[in-house]
A = this chain, B = another copy of it.
Amino acid sequence: MRKGEATREAILERAIGLASQVGLEGLTIGRLAEDLDLSKSGLFAHFRSKEALQIRTLERAAERFSQVVVRPALAEPRGEPRLRALFERWLRWPQAFRQPGGCIFVAAASELDDRPGPTRDCLVRLQREWLGVIATTVRGGQELGQLRADLDPQQLAHELYGIMLVHHHSSRLLRDPASGARTRAAFERLLADARNPS
């Protein structure tokens, strides 16, 4: 039993890295079996279908994301320091958790947007949760008087995610060495506009 669980974990960790590169559609049981040097029938014993494998991979990635991004940020003081920690940890998360193709959620987003079904539903739920974490953090900053009370927390979450998405685009597709600096400058402008004038 414990050995079975450990194997299952190792498979999912590898599946996350592979999906970041070839997409969730490319993440077939056959491809993963080849990659892990396991038998296809062995993998079928763990995941009965490609869809189950895709969903478990997304859910596992979300657990890891929570561990390396959200929970450590929640240990920071509320408001701006926490928002900054979420942002900086998001930037590092593909490296922090072996995703050679960059953030699996960004990669999956444009892949799944036209594919109705349980995998898409799972991704939508996870992405809404992530935007919700940002919005809640903004609300904390408003309660402390750091951020303007007239700010819409969901608007700020939307714009912050845009900064993250264009970082993915410019660093991964364009391989632009200025991407990190531009992304941080955009974040500072977002924060400067959101702060209460003191």
Contact = CB atoms under 8 A, between A and B. Distances in A.
Nearest to A181: B155
A163 B173 contact: no
Interface stretch (A36-44, A51-59, A60-68, A109-117): A109-117
Given A109-B110, A111-B23, A163-B159, A174 B124 contact: yes
A128 B166 contact: no
A128 B176 CA distance: 10
B166 A159 contact: yes
Chain A, interface size: which category?
Answer: 35 or more
Copies of this chain, count: 2
A183 to B, nearest CB: 8
Nearest to A128: B174
16 contacts: A101-B113, A109-B110, A111-B111, A112-B173, A127-B169, A127-B174, A154-B178, A155-B186, A158-B182, A158-B183, A158-B186, A159-B163, A159-B166, A159-B186, A161-B166, A165-B165
Nearest first, the 6 closest Cβ-Cβ pairs linking A and B are A162-B166, A162-B162, A165-B165, A113-B172, A113-B173, A158-B182
Interface of A: 20-23, 100-102, 106-107, 109-114, 120, 123-124, 127-128, 154-155, 158-159, 161-163, 165-170, 172-174, 178-179, 182-183, 185-186, 189, 193
